[in-house]
């Protein structure tokens, strides 16, 4: 029979499977002569009696008669049928095809059939012997299969539970090709959707389609605060099983994740990347930050690593089994080290800009400045033609031929080596042969954000923008102008944006011009007459602005236009804020009208939105409208994937006297599978149900025990605590039986929490079993978590397990990594492992690598504070000040401090001299830290030298961090350098910080000219 089964295994072909019926047939062939009883017995043997892998008859019937099952069931079936592990992917791909026989949303395509051009992969250069419609052979990247955190391992995990991954890399670094290849490799039979914009993503989130790859190349294009892709919408898609894959430039990534500061208004993401946003602004990117923190982020280096280059050489070399790829051969022959950049024509793009005529360079500079300062729409021909003269010298203007613009545009739009062009024409999406504008190649766009960060566009740029820019871009350009001190240009841009109905621009126009001309009512009159009435959030902000400047008459004019009747109701939070502003304005009629509309027409899918509206209706006393809203039964309609929103809604419903709907929502939520993954849901629901419907509470507890999230030990710990606190003792007892042998051990902190949660339950045997497993197998990549686990093991009396874990932790330390040594010492010291500490200290002082200044500083601190004087001497004798790398300014600062504390004056002198001459100065905060340490060490010569270098060389593409350097320069006595840096601030969009020096606030009351002089008095009547 064994030979027959083996024959059946070989003959079944998953590649032919396209439907559930065909899958059932192929699996029956694979099954051979095995009976249901045989399969069930084999599954139990495979699980070792733990019950994790079962094949009951009902499950087998669904599988073998209907071709329906869950992924884990199929994997168990394949295992008991003897299918080798490396062949499972073929069967899982067939299973995926049967589950998604039709596209879940219009416009979706199979991943394996997705076109690389439409997904954003750069067209490669033309080389002899290469087919123009194909891509170069893919060179495997280091991040592809990196264990644990690599791109493809992550995708394999996300295939089973959904997720979001963001690949961070520069233009032409190969990130889009890397991502596409990984998705095609891991998820070839999934459907893929490339959304047109953020609005389509919002529509998808309202009705999540389930298992779908959502392709977001250049993620920044889908982000715009609450109007872009949000973490809440992404979570809904992920929880439904979607895999969101995205790419983003490093500058955007770093800006969105940077620590927030105070703000007067929100600006465009591109503003902060290029220095447009004012440095004293609020958490403008909270929405974007929340989204990025939701994602698994992987960084792709701009240049290929040595290992990647070796792979490329192998693939290009036919003598050693390679494909002889002509693109790779051409790139490897180049002197430029950027392999992917060469294939994407990046060097040719740079040469095109640098070597063009003055007029070609001018229109490219216009395009670059427009993109970095906030223009999202295709750049109009009229804009480039009108703006370009200001980028030319008077002589070049006088000598320009009649066709200067046409020749320059033709030059800029020519494809280079058959690949990209510096400017690419864009149509309107409907009319054939019609060009609406041009976009700059993203490689040049990214490069210009750094190269031109200290350049303020000429007067012609701003006047052209005011006339020829799309209305949606005027507000962002106005912010860019204001933050550079070009107040008059900003006012003109905001005035034009207001004319086109942009209420956010209207609010800026009111507040900013009131500061300049507090007695002039004309800006407020203008905004009240022209502001659009459709956006609730922006309209509320405008009313607030009018109220704060005392423009009561103008606010009345705006209210006379009946905003409550016209405003859209698609943003419940904006509607709530607007209701509050209408109440502040005493517009009771408007409040009543908007409350009535909201109660009858508000979308009921977002529980947080319903809560917000109920709160504000209660505040304004709209009891009848509350009743109308409740009559629409929000408890039956809200989505359940926002656990905090649902829980808050339950409490709010009870607060407004709707106890019945609150109980209905509790019961509805208790029946949802989402509760199985949420300790918050579980605690609230058990508490609610235990009082009114104890049978439902018990049933819910049973469900949780039957399907615990064993891959997440922290979540399991929370659930044990919740169940125990809510009196579900029987269910806790059943759950702990499984925890000790089955819970995942990849999160040491989570395992420590779980041990703590088990202690009140008095599960001594299970604690002992879990402690034994954890000591032998827990992941050691989180030293803080391991330390917490050591503490928990000691608390439960598991001394043997502490010793075993300490032994593993000591062996895990890599002596070539000082940070690893410090982490290992922390773990060993927390366990009181004095012998291992002594051995590690001895070896580290003599052998630790000296390239990382942060790691060496941390190790030196540990040795010094631990009294290991001999080892400190040994480490210092190896001259770390001479050997550490200088590309980490914060690390250098830390090491200078530690060397000073250790009394190593010679080392301090050596490192100070090196830092002053060679420290990488791309991190302003880090430079400030080094200056502080040099000042403490009284190295005045090095302070002056580093201050001079930093002031001259520092790039201005991270303006908020540049501002942090100014006080450090003053404290270091480098007043001249501080003044020089301050002069550079306006170009970086930091005019507010520039104006804080001396009497500039008054001198530059009306802004500045492009030449740096104070602007003359101007007023509303000077605007067009």
**What does the block give as tokens for 165?**
């991954």
**Cα–Cα distance, 495 to 515 (Å, whole number):** 16
> Which pLDDT tens digit goes with each residue over 930-959?
998 998 989 989 988 888 888 877 776 666
| Mean pLDDT, range 979-990, rounded to an integer | 84
Higher pLDDT, 818 or 394: 394
Give the pLDDT of residue 670.
79
- State the Rg of the chain over Cα: 32
DSSP 8-state assignment for residue 797: T
Give the pLDDT of residue 419.
66
Q: Is 617 a residue whose pLDDT tops 50?
A: yes
Question: What does DSSP say about strands 191-193 and 163-168: parallel, antiparallel, or unpaired?
Answer: unpaired
Of the candidates 497, 480, 249, 248, the one whose C-alpha atom is nearest the C-alpha of residue 370 is 480
Q: Is 215 a residue whose pLDDT tops 90?
A: yes
* Phi/psi of residue 334, nearest 5 degrees: -75, 150
Contact predicate 130/316, CB 8 Å: no
Residues 6+ apart with CB under 8 A from 575: 536, 567, 569, 594, 598, 602, 613
Higher pLDDT, 911 or 421: 911
> Which pLDDT tens digit goes with each residue over 92-102?
888 877 876 67
Give the pLDDT of residue 336.
55
Of the candidates 820, 840, 843, the one whose C-alpha atom is nearest the C-alpha of residue 829 is 840
Give the pLDDT of residue 261.
44
| Mean pLDDT, range 817-837, rounded to an integer | 74
SS3 track for 101-135: CCCCCCCCEEHHHCCCCCCCCCCCCCCCCCCCCCC
**What does the block give as tokens for 245?**
């894959």
Give the pLDDT of residue 2.
46
> Which pLDDT tens digit goes with each residue over 104-114?
888 888 888 88
Sequence spans of domains, the chain: 14-100, 109-259+284-313, 345-469
Residue 957 CB coordination number (10 Å): 23
Q: Is 25 a residue whose pLDDT tops 80?
A: yes
Q: What is the pTM of this model?
A: 0.70
Q: Is 841 a residue whose pLDDT tops 80?
A: no
**Cα–Cα distance, 818 to 640 (Å, whole number):** 47
Residue 864 CB coordination number (10 Å): 17
For every residue of 598-652, DSSP letters joined together read: HHHH---S-HHHHHHHHHHHHHTT-HHHHHHHHHT-HHHHS-SS-HHHHHHHHHH
Contact predicate 167/83, CB 8 Å: no
**Cα–Cα distance, 949 to 941 (Å, whole number):** 13
Average pLDDT, the chain: 83
Model confidence at 380, in pLDDT bands (50, 70, 90)? Answer: very high
SS3 track for 430-481: CCCCCCCEEEECHHHHHHHHHHCCCCCCCHHHHHHHHHHCCHHHHHHHHHHH
Q: Is 175 a residue whose pLDDT tops 60?
A: yes
> Which pLDDT tens digit goes with each residue over 181-198?
999 988 888 899 999 888
621 Rama class: left (phi>0) / alpha (psi -120 to 50) / beta? left
> Which pLDDT tens digit goes with each residue over 512-523?
999 999 999 999
**What does the block give as tokens for 980?**
């020089």
DSSP 8-state assignment for residue 63: I
User: The sheet that has 243-248: what strands, in order across it?
Assistant: 109-110, 191-193, 213-216, 243-248, 163-168, 296-299
* Phi/psi of residue 19, nearest 5 degrees: -135, 170
| Mean pLDDT, range 1014-1024, rounded to an integer | 91
Give the distance from CA 666 to its chain's centroid: 33
Q: Is 588 a residue whose pLDDT tops 50?
A: yes
Higher pLDDT, 212 or 696: 212
Give the pLDDT of residue 280.
38
Give the pLDDT of residue 262.
36
Question: Which of 74-83, 819-828, 887-896 comes out lowest in average pLDDT?
Answer: 819-828
Q: Is 784 a residue whose pLDDT tops 90?
A: no
Of the candidates 535, 531, 520, the one whose C-alpha atom is nearest the C-alpha of residue 558 is 531
Give the pLDDT of residue 493.
96
**Cα–Cα distance, 569 to 748 (Å, whole number):** 47
Q: Which CATH class is domain 109-259+284-313?
A: alpha beta
| Mean pLDDT, range 38-47, rounded to an integer | 81
What does each C-alpha distance from 130 to 126, 173, 343, 680 come to in angstroms? Answer: 7, 21, 12, 58
Q: Is 468 a residue whose pLDDT tops 90?
A: yes
Model confidence at 465, in pLDDT bands (50, 70, 90)? Answer: very high
**Cα–Cα distance, 6 to 8 (Å, whole number):** 5
**Cα–Cα distance, 978 to 765 (Å, whole number):** 66
Model confidence at 477, in pLDDT bands (50, 70, 90)? Answer: very high
Of the candidates 188, 205, 901, the one whose C-alpha atom is nearest the C-alpha of residue 605 is 205
Question: Which of 3-7, 133-137, 580-584, 964-968 comes out lowest in average pLDDT?
Answer: 3-7
Question: Which of 123-127, 143-147, 333-337 comes out lowest in average pLDDT?
Answer: 333-337
Contact predicate 994/985, CB 8 Å: yes
Give the pLDDT of residue 339.
67
Q: Is 264 a residue whose pLDDT tops 50?
A: no
Q: How many residues can be counted in the chain?
A: 1024
| Mean pLDDT, range 803-818, rounded to an integer | 78
Give the pLDDT of residue 49.
47
Give the pLDDT of residue 490.
95
Model confidence at 383, in pLDDT bands (50, 70, 90)? Answer: very high
Query: What percentage of the chain carries pLDDT values higher than 70?
Result: 92
Helix or strand (DSSP H, E) at 401: none
> Which pLDDT tens digit goes with each residue over 532-577?
888 888 889 899 999 999 999 998 999 999 988 888 888 888 888 8
| Mean pLDDT, range 734-755, rounded to an integer | 83
Model confidence at 486, in pLDDT bands (50, 70, 90)? Answer: very high
Most confidently modeled range among 124-138, 271-285, 322-336, 539-553:
539-553
Contact predicate 466/439, CB 8 Å: no
What does each C-alpha distance from 294 to 239, 509, 781 come to in angstroms? Answer: 12, 36, 21
Model confidence at 276, in pLDDT bands (50, 70, 90)? Answer: very low
Q: Is 766 a residue whose pLDDT tops 50?
A: yes
**Cα–Cα distance, 349 to 353 (Å, whole number):** 7
Q: Is 471 a residue whose pLDDT tops 90?
A: no
> Which pLDDT tens digit goes with each residue over 303-356?
888 888 888 888 888 766 677 777 777 777 665 556 666 666 677 777 788 888
Contact predicate 23/39, CB 8 Å: no
**Cα–Cα distance, 1014 to 1000 (Å, whole number):** 9
Give the pLDDT of residue 681.
67
Q: Is 816 a residue whose pLDDT tops 80?
A: no
> Which pLDDT tens digit goes with each residue over 845-861?
788 888 889 888 888 88
| Mean pLDDT, range 126-137, rounded to an integer | 75
Give the pLDDT of residue 454.
82
Q: Is 694 exposed, middle or buried (0-12, 13-18, 19+ CB in 10 A)?
A: exposed
Q: Is 222 a residue whose pLDDT tops 80?
A: yes
What does each C-alpha distance from 856 to 20, 253, 864 come to in angstroms? Answer: 60, 29, 12
Question: Which of 474-488, 799-813, 928-942 comes out lowest in average pLDDT?
Answer: 799-813
Contact predicate 874/845, CB 8 Å: yes
Bridge partner residues of 163 (DSSP): 243
């Amino acid at each position: 029979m064994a030979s027959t089964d083996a024959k059946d295994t070989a003959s079944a072909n998953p590649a032919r499977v396209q439907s559930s019926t065909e899958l059932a047939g192929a699996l029956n062939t694979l099954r051979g002569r095995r009976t249901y009883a045989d399969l069930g017995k084999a599954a139990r043997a495979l699980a070792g009696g733990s019950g994790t892998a079962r094949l009951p008859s009902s499950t087998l019937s669904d599988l073998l008669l209907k071709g329906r099952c869950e992924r884990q069931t199929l994997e168990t079936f394949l295992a008991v049928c003897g299918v080798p592990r490396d062949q499972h992917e073929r069967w899982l791909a067939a299973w995926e095809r049967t589950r998604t026989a039709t596209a879940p949303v219009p416009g979706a395509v199979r991943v394996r059939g997705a076109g690389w051009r439409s997904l954003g992969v750069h067209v490669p250069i033309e080389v002899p012997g290469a087919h123009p419609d194909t891509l170069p052979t893919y060179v495997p990247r280091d991040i592809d299969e990196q264990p644990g955190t690599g791109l493809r391992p992550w995708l394999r995990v996300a295939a089973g539970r959904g997720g979001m991954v963001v690949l961070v890399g520069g233009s032409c670094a190969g990130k889009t090709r890397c991502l596409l290849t990984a998705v095609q490799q891991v998820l070839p039979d999934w459907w893929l959707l490339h959304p047109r914009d953020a609005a389509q993503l919002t529509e998808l989130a309202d009705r999540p389609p389930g298992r779908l790859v959502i392709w977001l190349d250049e993620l920044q294009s889908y982000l715009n605060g609450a109007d872009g892709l949000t973490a809440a919408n992404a979570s809904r898609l992920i929880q439904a099983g979607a895999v969101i894959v995205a790419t983003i430039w490093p500058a955007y990534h770093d800006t969105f994740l940077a620590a927030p500061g105070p703000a007067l208004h929100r600006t465009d993401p591109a503003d902060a990347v290029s220095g447009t946003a004012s440095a004293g602004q609020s958490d403008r990117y909270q929405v974007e930050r929340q989204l990025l923190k939701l994602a698994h982020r992987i960084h792709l280096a701009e240049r290929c690593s040595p290992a990647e280059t070796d792979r490329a050489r192998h693939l290009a070399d036919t003598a050693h089994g390679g494909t002889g790829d002509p693109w790779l051969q051409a790139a490897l022959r180049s002197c430029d080290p950027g392999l992917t950049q060469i294939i994407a024509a990046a060097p040719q793009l740079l040469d095109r800009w640098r070597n063009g005529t003055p007029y070609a360079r001018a229109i490219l500079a216009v395009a670059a400045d427009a993109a970095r300062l906030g223009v999202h729409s295709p750049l109009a021909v009229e804009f480039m033609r009108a703006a370009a003269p200001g980028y030319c010298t008077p002589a070049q203007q006088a000598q320009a031929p009649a066709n200067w613009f046409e020749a320059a545009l033709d030059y800029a739009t020519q494809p280079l080596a058959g690949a990209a062009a510096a400017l690419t024409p864009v149509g309107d999406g409907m009319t054939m042969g019609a060009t609406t504008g041009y976009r700059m190649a993203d490689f040049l766009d990214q490069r210009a954000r750094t190269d031109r960060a200290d350049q303020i566009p000429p007067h012609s740029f701003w006047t052209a923008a005011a006339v020829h820019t799309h209305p949606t871009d005027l507000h962002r350009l106005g912010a860019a102008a204001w933050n550079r001190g070009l107040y008059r240009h900003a006012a003109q841009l905001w005035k034009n944006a207001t004319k086109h109905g942009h209420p956010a621009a209207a609010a800026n126009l009111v507040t900013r011009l009131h500061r300049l001309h507090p007695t002039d009512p004309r800006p407020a009159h203008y905004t009240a007459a022209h502001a659009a009435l459709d956006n609730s959030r922006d309209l509320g902000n405008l009313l607030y602005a009018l109220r704060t400047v005392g423009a009561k008459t103008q606010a009345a004019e705006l209210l006379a236009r009946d905003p409550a009747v016209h405003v859209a109701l698609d943003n419940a939070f904006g509607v709530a804020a607007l209701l509050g502003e209408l109440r502040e304005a005493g517009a009771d009629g408007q409040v009543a009208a908007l409350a009535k509309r909201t109660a009858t027409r508000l979308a009921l899918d977002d529980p947080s939105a319903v809560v917000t509206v109920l709160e504000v209706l209660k505040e304004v006393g709209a009891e009848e409208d509350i009743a109308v809203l409740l009559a629409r039964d929000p408890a039956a309609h809200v989505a359940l994937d926002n656990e905090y929103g649902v829980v808050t809604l339950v409490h709010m419903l009870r607060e407004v006297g709707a106890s019945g709907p609150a109980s209905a929502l509790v019961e509805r939520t208790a029946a949802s599978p989402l509760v199985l993954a949420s300790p918050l849901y579980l605690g609230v629901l058990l508490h609610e149900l235990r009082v009114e419907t104890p049978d439902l509470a018990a049933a819910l507890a049973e469900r949780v025990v039957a399907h615990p999230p064993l891959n997440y030990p922290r979540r399991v710990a929370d659930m044990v605590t919740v169940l125990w606190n809510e009196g579900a003792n029987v269910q806790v007892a059943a759950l702990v039986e499984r925890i000790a042998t089955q819970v995942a051990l990849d999160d040491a902190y989570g395992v420590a929490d779980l041990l703590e949660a088990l202690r009140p339950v008095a599960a001594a045997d299970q604690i002992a079993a879990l402690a034994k497993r954890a000591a032998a197998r827990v992941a050691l990549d989180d030293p803080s978590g391991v330390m917490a686990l050591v503490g928990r093991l000691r608390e439960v009396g598991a001394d043997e397990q502490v010793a075993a874990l300490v032994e593993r932790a000591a062996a895990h330390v890599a002596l070539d990594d000082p940070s690893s040594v410090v982490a290992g010492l922390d773990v060993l010291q927390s366990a009181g492992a004095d012998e291992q500490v002594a051995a590690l200290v001895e070896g580290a002082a003599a052998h630790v690598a000296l390239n990382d200044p942060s790691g060496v500083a941390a190790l030196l601190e540990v040795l010094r504070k631990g009294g290991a004087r001999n080892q400190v001497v040994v480490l210092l004798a190896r001259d770390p000040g001479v050997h550490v790398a200088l590309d980490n300014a914060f690390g250098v600062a830390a090491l200078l401090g530690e060397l000073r504390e250790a009394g190593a004056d010679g080392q301090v002198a050596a490192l100070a001299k090196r830092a002053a001459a060679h420290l990488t100065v791309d991190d302003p905060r880090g430079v400030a830290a080094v200056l502080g340490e040099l000042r403490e060490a009284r190295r005045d010569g090095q302070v002056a030298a580093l201050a001079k270098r930093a002031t001259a060389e520092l790039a201005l593409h991270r303006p908020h961090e540049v501002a942090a350097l100014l006080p450090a320069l003053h404290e270091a006595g480098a007043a001249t350098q501080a003044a020089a840096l301050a002069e550079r601030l306006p170009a970086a969009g930091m005019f507010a910080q520039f104006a804080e020096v001396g009497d500039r606030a008054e001198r530059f009351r009306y802004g500045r000219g492009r030449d740096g002089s104070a602007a003359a008095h101007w007023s509303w009547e000077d605007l067009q």
